[in-house]
């Protein structure tokens, strides 16, 4: 019975590390997009921003899942948690760099085009940015195996 509680405690700790990585990812995306991301998504109900943010969160979740699986947990719980955080943050950095690169190559100010909703429809650029996040996450996840 003790193993169940120990495993549950470890799962909670890894979950907290994953949540911290997701929070950093949210803040990083907020820095490279126009307006306050929380306001744009929840108050203004911008579909493009929601697509980009949702894709980022799915991607970060995938990277963290792979990071947990390849963590240095055989060195102890502490090292496992640290390596998961480092691998997760490396994925976030790469995803933000790709977002910036796509924004630089695409017409219009960075992120602004993807956040243009017209007639209740998200701009197609939002789907491109979202797919880019997911694709980058898959590549980072593969690199962690």
Which residues neighbour 60 within 8 Å (Cβ) at sequence distance 6 or greater? 21, 22, 25, 88, 91, 92, 95, 137
Is 25 in contact with 57 (CB distance < 8 Å)?
A: yes
What tokens does 105 get? 């190559």
According to the model, what pLDDT value does residue 6 have? 86
**Per-residue pLDDT tens digits for 95-116:** 999 888 887 887 766 667 888 8
What percentage of the chain carries pLDDT values higher than 90?
Answer: 56
According to the model, what pLDDT value does residue 105 have? 81
What percentage of the chain carries pLDDT values higher than 70?
Answer: 96
CA angle 55, 59, 64 (to 5 degrees): 150
According to the model, what pLDDT value does residue 81 have? 93
Q: Pick the range with the lowest mean pLDDT from 54-58, 62-66, 105-109, 121-125.
A: 105-109
pTM: 0.89
């Amino acid at each position: 019975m003790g193993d169940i509680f120990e495993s549950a405690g470890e799962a909670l700790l890894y979950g907290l590390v994953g949540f911290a990585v997701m929070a950093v990812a949210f803040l990083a995306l907020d820095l490279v997009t126009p307006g306050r991301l929380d306001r744009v998504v929840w108050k203004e109900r911008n579909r493009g921003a929601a697509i980009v943010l949702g894709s980022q969160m799915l991607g970060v979740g995938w990277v963290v899942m792979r990071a947990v699986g390849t963590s240095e947990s055989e060195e102890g719980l502490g090292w496992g948690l640290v390596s998961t955080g480092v691998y997760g943050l490396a994925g976030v950095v790469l995803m933000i760099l790709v977002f910036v690169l796509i924004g630089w190559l695409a017409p219009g100010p960075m992120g602004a085009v993807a956040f243009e909703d017209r007639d209740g429809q998200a701009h197609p650029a939002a789907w491109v940015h979202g797919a880019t996040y997911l694709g980058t996450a898959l590549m980072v996840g593969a690199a962690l195996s």
